[in-house]
Structure 1
Amino acid sequence: MQDNATMPASLVDYVTSCTLPTPWAQFTLHAFVEHATGKEHLAMTLGDLSTGAPPLARIHSECLTGDVMFSQRCDCGAQLETALQRIAEEGRGILLYLRQEGRGIGLVNKIRAYRLQEAGADTVEANLQLGFQADARSYELVLPMLEQFGIESVRLMTNNPRKIAALGKFGIRVAERVPLLVNRNAFNNSYLNTKEAKLGHMMTPAVPTEATPVGEA
């Protein structure tokens, strides 16, 4: 893997990689730069991903308040940690960290949305009141990032059907959906219920084993 290699579809450039020790395993951290925006996106990998069974994978959108500041208003930070822990337990997998804060509206607007939620709006209503889509995230960068590692099929840790649909659209096979149901609490209960009711997220375990083949959820 060479520094400054141009990605397929010319959406992002792979820049460089380094080792990243974590509490769960020593991952390899890979940096990418998006052409259109200049945003820096990341991939964390563990093990050989280009051969063998579809690796465990997570597409994680940046959430500074949840990932870094331990906010309990969402489940993002807990999902990030759980995904990395599960990859470490298997010894093989990938996490893509996409810089699209606040479902794509940015950090400041997310805080504005929080104020509207404190006045009674749910997460979808707050985004719409600010003039944004309910969920403005895009997953087109996932394809060239996965192609960098020779990945054509994944076992995707997600509750979000839009991610599964996006991967299918881009030709990445989701061999299995692995639910990621963590950290429901008094502060985010309404947030999680809104995800289920208005965004179609799959918020209940579909099978006792926690691993759900796509199409059965």
Structure 2
Amino acid sequence: MAEVRARVDLKVGSKSHIDAEILSFHGLKTDKEHIALIFKQADTQDIPLVRMHSECLTGDVFHSSRCDCGEQLDETIELMGKKGGIILYLRQEGRGIGLYNKIDAYKLQSAGMNTYEANNHLGFGDDLRDFTEAAEMLKALGIEKVRLITNNPKKIRELQQHGIELVESLNTSAHIKDGNESYLKAKVSHGKHDLDL
């Protein structure tokens, strides 16, 4: 059973200007070091805004042209800085295949495959992420109902399967840029993501 290990105040966002807390956890079954960012106004929400964001080094840190992950994270941080909420930052790089395999998949995408075809060609499923521990983290925070920020129906299904009630689902914006349009189209057509392209 997951429990909070440590809570530390910090400021986050592109200008390190938004008050938040970072939380670590005991009791997660994998050895992944997932964290939660809790924005100060979350305490005033009966049903908090929550985003489960899977780690994407290339997008989150380097703002790669190949995805929209960094833009989704920045959008969520700005929103939660104003309205409150919780980001569960999950160490599941490349939809669960890892960083090096993701870079191998990028090479295949450069040769014409979409993101799902590339993962399949490497011997992986479409999406290996597991959101069980995200539900455990929420329960460790005493949260059983959420307003979820996501475009991905898999996240909704898995949270509900693990006993978290979804009260509302909110989309992020479609962050189209030079280099990621085919990636976004594959997310919509193959992954059934709810994106307005």
TM-score, length-normalised on structure 1?
Answer: 0.84
Percent identity reads 43
Q: Is the 8 A contact 1:55 1:154 kept in 2?
A: yes
Q: Structure 1 residue runs of 4+, over 6 Å off?
A: none
The corresponding residue for 2:119 is: 127
Deviation for aligned residue 1:48: 6.2
Structure 2 unmatched runs, 5+: none
Structure 1 unmatched runs, 5+: 1-7, 206-217
Cα offsets for 1:133-158 (capped at 9, x unmatched)? 01111000012100121111111111
The corresponding residue for 2:7 is: 17
Give, as a single letter, the amino acid of the residue that structure 2 aligns with 1:105.
I
| Residues in 2 aligned to 1:62 and 1:103: alpha-carbon distance in whole angstroms | 9
Q: CA RMSD in A?
A: 1.7
The corresponding residue for 1:43 is: 36
Give, as a single letter, the amino acid of the residue that structure 2 aligns with 1:65.
T
- Go from structure 1 to structure 2 and tell me whether the alpha carbon gap of 1:80 and 1:34 turns closer, same or farther (over 3 Å shift): farther
Higher mean C-alpha displacement, 47-56 vs 102-111? 47-56
Higher mean C-alpha displacement, 61-70 vs 182-191? 182-191
Give, as a single letter, the amino acid of the residue that structure 1 aligns with 2:130.
S
| Residues in 1 aligned to 2:107 and 2:163: alpha-carbon distance in whole angstroms | 39
Q: Counterparts of 1:86-125 in structure 2 under 5 Å?
A: 86-90=79-83, 92-125=84-117
Give, as a single letter, the amino acid of the residue that structure 2 aligns with 1:187.
G
| Residues in 1 aligned to 2:75 and 2:109: alpha-carbon distance in whole angstroms | 27
Deviation for aligned residue 1:36: 4.1
Deviation for aligned residue 1:47: 3.1
Give, as a single letter, the amino acid of the residue that structure 1 aligns with 2:6.
T
- Go from structure 1 to structure 2 and tell me whether the alpha carbon gap of 1:48 and 1:184 turns closer, same or farther (over 3 Å shift): closer
Deviation for aligned residue 1:15: 2.2
Q: Is the 8 A contact 1:19 1:29 kept in 2?
A: yes
Deviation for aligned residue 1:26: 1.0
The corresponding residue for 1:188 is: 180
| Residues in 1 aligned to 2:177 and 2:107: alpha-carbon distance in whole angstroms | 20
Q: Counterparts of 1:1-217 in structure 2 under 5 Å?
A: 8=1, 12=2, 14-22=4-12, 23-32=16-25, 35-47=28-40, 49=42, 52-90=45-83, 92-204=84-196
Q: Is the 8 A contact 2:28 2:133 kept in 1?
A: no
- Go from structure 1 to structure 2 and tell me whether the alpha carbon gap of 1:52 and 1:82 turns closer, same or farther (over 3 Å shift): closer
TM-score, length-normalised on structure 2?
Answer: 0.92
Secondary structure class of the residue paired with 2:34: strand
